[in-house]
């Protein structure tokens, strides 16, 4: 084998080319990590929101959209009292009638905020036990509970939605009573208010859905059977997991677009990198020919060229990961269903590492082939 | 490669080389027969394009003949695959280039050490051989210098040490003095002469310089791929 020092020292032959190559690799790794973090965050957010023990009762025919769904008061009441297998906490059945409404609120400065408002009763906390009130208290009449990331979804400063601030809904002032946290779920970007208040604002005499938390030994099929037996209630039972999985599929084109954009930009960077490597290796055609003349096989020389490229791409990967950490970690991005908090989880780092290694490996082969393939007498003369 | 002195180390029989250049077939060597005894210092002269470097490349296993056979010692070089040729070259041939072809990022010591690496020798053995080779070319005190820190003559001496270090029986040199001033050229030629005489190295040298050719035992002229004269110089 050629000494490793040969690969290391080759890096310093042209410092500007080295910097260019490292930055190119870092850009590719950053883009790949960014795309992965975004898509992983989106998927995680939708998956975390869904609990396998929760069932949603929606209006029959509106299984795809909670906002379009209408469940009558009567149906909600019957379901609440007659369903078997419902979780009970301190004597209270975990059944939460909810209204989901896209509303326009006004800030104190008159700025319009359009966001998802969920009307709930205190039983919502029984159905969504991952929810915690981080600050303040559960909203009473004339109050709002804002999700921890709602400010990002509504594109305002966090102070605008701080506890004590006032937002106006249909000319009525509503005070922020608390901040809601449910790490990793889309509900963190929602605004909650008492069900009765929202019913008045939205002028509806129905609810959007009834969320039910089942006991561990109960099954979704039991609830589905109930809805089939009580066709008069016009209900459809969908497990929360299934509902959010459908929602995730709805966002699949966005994920594809994210990857496509990242891959296109990365491809441009890869071609730039290939060009740099072509230039770097082309200036050493005679040198590699000399090594062959001395007795090194083309494979051994290829290994050395790979070592060199991998050193560059790994340096780029490290830089890309550091930049990703600085730019992406804990960054909150809005997306249709709410807001996602980006997190550089191990899988994102592994994807970045693989991208960096592939870049170093695959990026070396074409220029190395061009350098090593021509007949030795010709390359010795070049 | 165990053979007696005066028994030919290099034997070429009916060697021809042809290759395609665009739509034309080029024949740099035609039906060449040549024998070079062990320990002989042979000079090859001829105009540009006469086939000198092609012959050197064939004999050193850098290129393969289109026709004929080439035996170096008891090895039929023309039958070896590209991979086997690389391993054979590492042990049996030392190549000296006109422009030295030293690796700029490696020191003189590391450059000379290169041919020993494919052989898997111990670091200690390698150090002994590299130091001996550099001492032989008079550059023991420059072993940690990089090529850019050496003069042209010194660089060529390092290249000769690199060619020698694996103790090959055959040294091929392609215009080794072509890029040197007279004084450095004389010094390199004296070194090659000494290697042939004292160490029984078989040397085949391509040159355009009659003074360089005069240092050889025998001078051959090539023209249009054919040997013209066989002239004993010394």
| pLDDT, tens only, A196-216 | 999 999 888 899 999 999 988
Tens digit of pLDDT for each residue in A115-170? 889 999 998 999 988 889 999 999 999 999 999 888 888 888 889 999 999 999 98
- Based on the domain organization, do A28 and A103 belong to the same domain? no
Where is pLDDT greater, at A343 or A221?
A221
Residues A139, A71: one domain? yes
- Cβ separation B62–A5 shorter than 8 A: no
DSSP state of A86: B
- Residue reference for tokens 């089939």: A228
Contact flag B62-A380 (C-beta cutoff 8 Å): yes
Environment class of B42 (CB within 10 Å of its CB; exposed 0-12, middle 13-18, buried 19+): buried
Last residue of a domain, one of A196, A215, A234: A215
**Domain presence at residue A263:** yes
Is A221 inside any structural domain?
no
Separation between Cα atoms, residue A29 and residue A88, nearest integer Å: 49
Q: Which of A197, A215, A233 is the last residue of a domain?
A: A215
CB A2 within 8 A of CB A301: yes
pLDDT band at A337 (very low <50, low <70, confident <90, very high): low
Beta bridge partners of B218: B42, B232
A171 and A306 co-located in one domain: no
| Per-residue pLDDT, B2 | 42
- The rounded percent of chain A whose pLDDT value lies above 90 is 29
> Number of H helices and number of E strands within chain B?
7, 10
Half-sphere exposure of A64 (CA within 13 A, CB side): 3
Does position B3 have pLDDT exceeding 50, yes or no?
no
Contact check, Cβ <8 Å, B115/A295: yes
Within 10 A of A155 (CB to CB), how many other CB atoms are there? 13
Instruction: Say how far apart CA A284 and CA A281 lie, in whole Å.
Output: 5
* Mean pLDDT across chain B: 89
Q: Do A79 and A150 belong together in one domain?
A: yes
What is the helix (H) or strand (E) element at residue B204, kind and residue range? strand B202-206
Nearest to A295 among B53, B57, B86 (CB): B86
**Residue B216 pLDDT grade (very low, low, confident, very high; cuts 50, 70, 90):** very high
> Which chain A residues contact residue B81 at CB under 8 A?
none
Co-location of A281 and A301 in the same domain: yes
The CB-based long-range contact list for B186-194 (8 Å cut-off, 24+ gap) reads B187/B153, B187/B157, B188/B153, B188/B156, B188/B157, B188/B160, B189/B215, B190/B215, B191/B137, B191/B157, B191/B160, B192/B41, B192/B160, B193/B41
- Regarding whether A67 and A23 lie in a shared domain, the answer is no
Which has the higher per-residue pLDDT, B130 or B85?
A: B130
Q: How confident is the model at residue B233 (pLDDT cuts 50, 70, 90)?
A: low
Do A73 and A19 lie in one domain? The reply is no
The confidence score (pLDDT) of residue A335 equals 66
Print the domain residue range for A265: 4-48+251-381
Alpha-carbon separation of residue A219 from A237, A242, A245 (angstroms): 12, 14, 18
What pLDDT is stored for residue A109 in this prediction?
85
CATH 3.90.1150.10 fits B36-64+89-232, yes or no: no
pLDDT at A77: 78
Residue B229: which pLDDT band, with cuts at 50, 70 and 90? low
ipTM entry: 0.88
Q: Which residue out of A1, A12, A283, A293 would a mutagenesis test of the B interface target, given it has the greatest number of B Cβ atoms within 10 Å?
A: A293
Q: How many domains does chain A have?
A: 2
Contact at CB, B86 and A292, closer than 8 angstroms: yes
Q: Return the closest-CA partner of residue A238 out of A209, A216, A215.
A: A209
In angstroms, rounded to a whole number, what is the distance separating the alpha carbons of residues A218 and A212?
A: 11
Residues of A in contact with B60 (CB under 8 A): 293
């Amino acid at each position: 084998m050629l000494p490793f020092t040969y690969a290391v020292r080759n890096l310093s032959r042209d410092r500007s080319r080295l910097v260019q190559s490292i930055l190119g690799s870092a850009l590719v790794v950053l883009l790949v990590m960014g795309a992965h973090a975004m898509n992983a965050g989106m998927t995680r957010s939708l998956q975390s929101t869904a609990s396998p023990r929760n069932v949603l009762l929606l209006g029959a025919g509106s299984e795809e959209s909670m906002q379009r769904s209408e469940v009558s008061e009567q149906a909600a009441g019957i379901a609440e009292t007659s369903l078997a297998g419902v979780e009970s906490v301190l004597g209270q059945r975990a059944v939460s009638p909810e209204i989901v409404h896209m509303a326009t609120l006004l800030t104190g400065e008159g700025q319009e905020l359009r966001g998802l408002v969920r009307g709930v009763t205190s039983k919502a906390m029984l159905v969504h036990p991952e929810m915690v009130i981080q600050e303040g208290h559960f909203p009473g009449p004339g109050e709002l509970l804002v999700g921890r990331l709602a400010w990002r979804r509504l594109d305002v400063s966090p102070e605008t939605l701080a506890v004590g601030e006032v937002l106006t809904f249909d000319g009525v002032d509503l005070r922020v009573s608390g901040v809601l946290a449910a790490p990793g779920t889309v509900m963190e970007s929602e605004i909650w208010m008492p069900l009765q208040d929202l019913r008045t604002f939205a002028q509806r005499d129905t609810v959007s859905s009834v969320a039910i938390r089942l006991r561990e030994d109960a099954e979704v099929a039991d609830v589905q059977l109930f809805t089939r037996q009580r066709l008069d209630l016009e209900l459809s039972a969908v497990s929360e997991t299934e509902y959010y999985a459908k929602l995730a599929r709805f966002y699949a084109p966005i994920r594809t677009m994210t990857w496509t954009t990242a891959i296109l930009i990365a491809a441009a960077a890869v071609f730039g990198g290939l060009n740099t490597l072509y230039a770097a290796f082309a200036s050493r055609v005679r040198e590699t020919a000399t090594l062959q003349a001395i007795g090194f096989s083309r494979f051994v020389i290829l290994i050395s060229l790979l070592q060199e490229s991998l050193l560059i791409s790994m340096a780029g990967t490290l830089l890309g990961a550091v930049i990703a950490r600085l730019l992406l970690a804990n960054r909150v991005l809005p997306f249709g269903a709410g807001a996602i908090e980006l997190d550089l989880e191990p899988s994102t780092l592994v994807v970045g590492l693989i991208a960096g290694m592939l870049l170093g490996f695959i990026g070396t082969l074409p220029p190395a082939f061009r350098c090593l393939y021509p007949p030795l007498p010709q390359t010795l003369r070049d | 490669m165990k053979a007696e002195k005066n028994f030919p180390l290099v034997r070429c029989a009916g060697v021809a080389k042809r290759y395609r250049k665009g739509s034309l077939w080029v024949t740099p060597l035609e039906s060449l027969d040549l024998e070079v005894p062990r320990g002989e210092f042979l000079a090859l002269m001829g105009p540009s394009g006469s086939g000198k470097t092609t012959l050197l490349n064939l004999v050193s296993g850098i290129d393969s003949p289109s026709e004929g056979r080439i035996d170096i010692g008891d090895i039929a070089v023309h039958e070896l695959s590209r991979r086997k040729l690389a391993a054979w070259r590492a042990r049996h041939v030392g190549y000296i280039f006109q422009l030295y072809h030293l690796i700029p990022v490696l020191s003189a010591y590391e450059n000379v050490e290169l041919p020993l690496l494919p052989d898997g020798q111990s670091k200690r053995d390698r150090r002994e051989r590299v130091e001996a080779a550099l001492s032989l070319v008079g550059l023991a005190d420059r072993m940690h210098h990089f090529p850019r820190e050496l003069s042209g003559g010194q660089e060529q001496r390092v290249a000769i040490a690199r060619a020698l270090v694996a103790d090959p029986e055959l040294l091929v040199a392609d215009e080794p003095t072509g890029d040197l001033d007279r004084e450095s050229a004389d010094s390199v030629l004296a070194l090659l002469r000494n290697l042939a005489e004292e160490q029984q190295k078989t040397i085949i040298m391509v040159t355009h310089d009659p003074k360089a050719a005069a240092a050889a035992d025998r001078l051959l002229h090539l023209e249009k791929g054919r040997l013209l004269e066989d002239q004993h110089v010394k």
